[in-house]
Structure 1
């Protein structure tokens, strides 16, 4: 099947399909006599798996590694990856709950200050109480410099 049909069947743009191919997530297809890419039926399944995995929070690097080792991955390896992602979600939920609590406290302070008609002293009251600290977010460490990532994604300045 040509890239247009594959795009229609998966709901992805042809440029996204080419990106997945260039980045090693989708095997390079054969070429027809006219030079057009000819994708096998398995490409539909692979693209659905990529899309679903991304929606579940798996990075493209993680997927690339899994696909590269697909012949040697055991069910335990796959379960370990899923369990790791579940742990990340639990941690994110705890952080979001703490942020929601702190935002509600801040909102109450702001409403009280508005009712009082003054913001005097509000700044000293907006600090989080020592008893309920908001967990610090882990900083994201990019895997490649921004310029390289944007160039790889076709977003480099021209």
Structure 2
């Protein structure tokens, strides 16, 4: 009902979906790198990340199971291919869960079916006070506290 009373003067354009897609892709690439770093750390190879220029180009090698792809020449990956894949999958799953949770929170907060102009019970109590809410309860909820209750 409230949705029909409101109009949005701004059309839905391509900038916001593109920003969300790029953000998700960057987080997934960083998750691959973090999974490889975790696998190397667990194998005793230390915590190391590739330089910026090898951040994207090393992803296919990492997904193939190579723990040393893209790392500087003095740093060698020590994790096995199975460990690299396991750590990458675990890291990506955690990132996807966090993205789904954030997406749901954003959708409920700013999505098209949000409730406009309604205060929560705690906000109304803070603003009006408990005594006043109790005194005017028949106006606020006439179906529960009104004089013509049957």
Report the TM-score, using the length of structure 1 for normalisation: 0.31
Kindly name which structure, 1 or 2, has the bigger radius of gyration based on alpha carbons: 2
Q: Which has the higher contact order (CA 8 A, sep 6+)?
A: 2
Report the TM-score, using the length of structure 2 for normalisation: 0.32
